[in-house]
Amino acid sequence: MKYLIVVPDGSADNPIESLGGRTPLEASDLPCINGLAARGEIGSARTVPEGISPGSDSANLSVMGYDPRKYLTGRSPLEAASIGLEMSDSDISFRVNLITVDPAGADSYEDFIVKDHAAGDITTEEAAQLVDVLNEHFAQDGLYIHLGTGYRQCMIVDKSHPNGHTDYKCVPPHDILDQKAGPYLPKGRGADHFTDMMRRSYDILKDHPVNKARIKRGLNPANSIWIWGQGTRPDLPDFNEKYGVKGAVISAVDLIKGIAMFAGLDVLKVDGIDGTKHTNFTGKAQAAIEAYENGKNFIYMHIEGTDECSHQGDLEGKIKCAEDIDSKVVTPVYRYLKESGDDFKILVIPDHRTPLAIRTHTSDPVPFLIYDSRHERTPDERRQFNERAALAAGNHIEDGFTLADYFFER
């Protein structure tokens, strides 16, 4: 038996007026995915429990069968693991975004506008140069920023350091786009030190050659850092033992790779995947097929582009990315599974909604489809992979983390 979970990150949305009241999923041409839905089971699931922030950390833990209320200890520790950082029980990890702020004529950092949480999808190579210069300035503080992927960096602080605790109120930068930074700066014991680092980072980065070159090319500069996502290392039960599989994860996102590592799943390397709408979709599909050929029987395929398009307010890009997921990822992997002669199951589910209207995540239920080659249903075109069809199906799973148990029949 082979299993495939495909997570088109943030693809679920709300009705949009310019689409005639349809959602992006309803407006997308998804012949393979909707074909599977028509011959399978559809429904909705609440992947983010009440009282938990709707981040990709909590949502993906839920999709993978881990109750976020029990296992979520912070976002950054998951990312730290993915870039090879060993955390002790006394370590606190923080996410450090490279972001774009717009002074908008203001003199105070508090009045700067947060314009882009991803600094125009800055490359890892460019980020490395900026991280190096930041570390030159922050070394005296006993703090060190570790290079991650693209705009996503990491900072490890021991509990013996004045800032080595998790009692901060930190806001993700993608939640405050086009707003003044001031009300959302870190708060809590010792938070002034982090706020000062963020202010200083603007002076350090604004005239850096990397940013001058980006501006010249019409790209957003990475002219500030933003500190958030603090937490301690988690302790996840082994996924393979829990569900009786030999599994691997394919994702460009450090967070997802970190969950995989703590869960005992292999992380497959794929050249050219970058977490954007331009990612190497074909390479992801081929890596999944090769993994099956090499003895894996479960693949968790996470695709970030639809979420990034939502954060950027890019409706056209979100639809195109969803269609690429269908044609370049799900279609070839489905064909391989069908031709392999083995029984197989496919689950397609967004981790969370990321409505274009607000450009950030919500906790609203998301649609899912399950296709089981052993129990193919009579085709019904009313069964589609979108929010409206999922609601109409009347098949709702309130504790979304139990969907994995259902999918793996455990």
CATH of the domain at 301: 3.40.720.10
Mapping DSSP to helix (H, G, I), strand (E, B) and coil, where does residue 128 land? Answer: helix
State whether 142 and 250 are in the same domain: no
Domain boundary among 231, 252, 274: 231
pLDDT at position 46 over 90:
yes
In a domain, 271, yes or no: yes
Domain boundary among 231, 257, 282: 231
State whether 199 and 319 are in the same domain: no
Least confident of 96-105, 113-122, 132-141: 132-141
Contact 194, 109 (CB under 8 A): no
State whether 306 and 214 are in the same domain: no
State whether 21 and 63 are in the same domain: yes
Spell out the residues 6+ positions from residue 176 whose beta carbon is closer than 8 angstroms to its own.
Answer: 114, 184
pLDDT at position 139 over 90:
no
Q: Are strands 179-180 and 113-116 parallel, antiparallel or unpaired?
A: antiparallel
Whole-angstrom distance, CA of residue 41 vs CA of residue 357: 29
In a domain, 218, yes or no: yes
pLDDT at position 140 over 90:
no
Domain boundary among 202, 231, 260: 231
State whether 100 and 196 are in the same domain: yes
In a domain, 77, yes or no: no
Q: How many domains does the chain contain in total?
A: 2
State whether 199 and 245 are in the same domain: no
**Which amino acid would we find at residue 55?**
G
In a domain, 252, yes or no: yes
What is the pLDDT at residue 228?
96
In a domain, 313, yes or no: yes
Q: Are strands 145-149 and 113-116 parallel, antiparallel or unpaired?
A: unpaired
State whether 141 and 249 are in the same domain: no
Mapping DSSP to helix (H, G, I), strand (E, B) and coil, where does residue 96 land? Answer: strand
In a domain, 275, yes or no: yes
What are φ and ψ of residue 313, in 5° steps? 70, 30
Whole-angstrom distance, CA of residue 321 vs CA of residue 316: 9
pLDDT in tens, 49-67: 999 999 999 999 999 999 9
Whole-angstrom distance, CA of residue 361 vs CA of residue 379: 33
Mean pLDDT of 272-278: 94
Q: For all residues of the chain together, what is the average pLDDT?
A: 96
Mapping DSSP to helix (H, G, I), strand (E, B) and coil, where does residue 392 land? Answer: helix
Q: Are strands 2-8 and 298-303 parallel, antiparallel or unpaired?
A: parallel
Spell out the residues 6+ positions from residue 84 whose beta carbon is closer than 8 angstroms to its own.
Answer: none
Mean pLDDT of 256-268: 96
What is the pLDDT at residue 375?
97
In the structure, what pLDDT confidence band is assigned to residue 142 with cuts at 50, 70 and 90? confident
Mapping DSSP to helix (H, G, I), strand (E, B) and coil, where does residue 372 land? Answer: strand
State whether 58 and 87 are in the same domain: no
What is the pLDDT at residue 17?
97
In 3D, which of 219, 255, 192 has the Cα closest to residue 55? 255
The enclosing H or E element of 259 equals: helix 254-262
Question: Higher-confidence residue: 149 or 204?
Answer: 204
Whole-angstrom distance, CA of residue 115 vs CA of residue 119: 8
In 3D, which of 258, 245, 256 has the Cα closest to residue 9? 256
pLDDT at position 37 over 90:
yes
State whether 176 and 161 are in the same domain: yes
State whether 156 and 88 are in the same domain: yes
Range of the domain at 118: 82-231
Q: What is the pTM of this model?
A: 0.87
In a domain, 277, yes or no: yes
User: Which residue pairs, CB below 8 angstroms and at least 24 apart, start in 66-74?
Assistant: 66/236, 66/237, 66/263, 66/401, 67/399, 67/401, 68/401, 71/234, 71/235, 71/236, 72/231, 72/234, 73/231, 73/232, 73/233, 73/234, 74/166, 74/229, 74/230, 74/231, 74/232
Tokens of 40: 């399978």
Mean pLDDT of 331-338: 98
State whether 393 and 254 are in the same domain: yes
Contact 239, 404 (CB under 8 A): no
The enclosing H or E element of 301 equals: strand 298-303
State whether 244 and 221 are in the same domain: no
Mean pLDDT of 213-227: 98
In the structure, what pLDDT confidence band is assigned to residue 173 with cuts at 50, 70 and 90? very high
